[in-house]
Copies of this chain bind each other. A is one copy, B any other.
Amino acid sequence: MIEIDELKLHLREFADARNWEKYHSPKNLVMAMSVEMAELMEHFEWMTEKQSLSLDVDTKEAVALEMADVMIYLVRMADRCGVDLDDAVQAKLTINSKKYPPVAVDQ
């Protein structure tokens, strides 16, 4: 189980040990995250929706690693912005539950 806080600390140490702090401005990190997102998207661009729901083993593994890249940059960027990602997700879930009421049972 990933703990976001642990991952945050791990990534902070990882960057420090490689002298990457100077590159890790939020502006740069959002660009890097966006590039990883597109690498994830690339797997799906010519698929039908149906095909995207039943990935073959190799694609699924590649997709998983691209998702991890997005997650890693997201946690790193949150840290560099001083954002608590746990709190932000909780706040957003609350907003969403008000914004999108569930549909009635009989629909």
Hey, which bits of chain A sit against chain B, CB under 8 A?
A: 1-5, 7, 10, 14, 17-19, 23, 25-28, 30-35, 37-42, 44-53, 55, 60, 63-65, 67-72, 74, 77-78, 80-93, 95-97, 100, 102-103, 107
Contact = CB atoms under 8 A, between A and B. Distances in A.
20 contacts: A1-B4, A1-B5, A2-B4, A17-B102, A17-B103, A18-B102, A25-B49, A25-B52, A27-B47, A27-B52, A37-B38, A55-B81, A55-B82, A64-B87, A64-B91, A65-B95, A68-B89, A69-B92, A70-B70, A72-B89
Contacts of A1: 3-5, 86
A71 B2 CA distance: 13
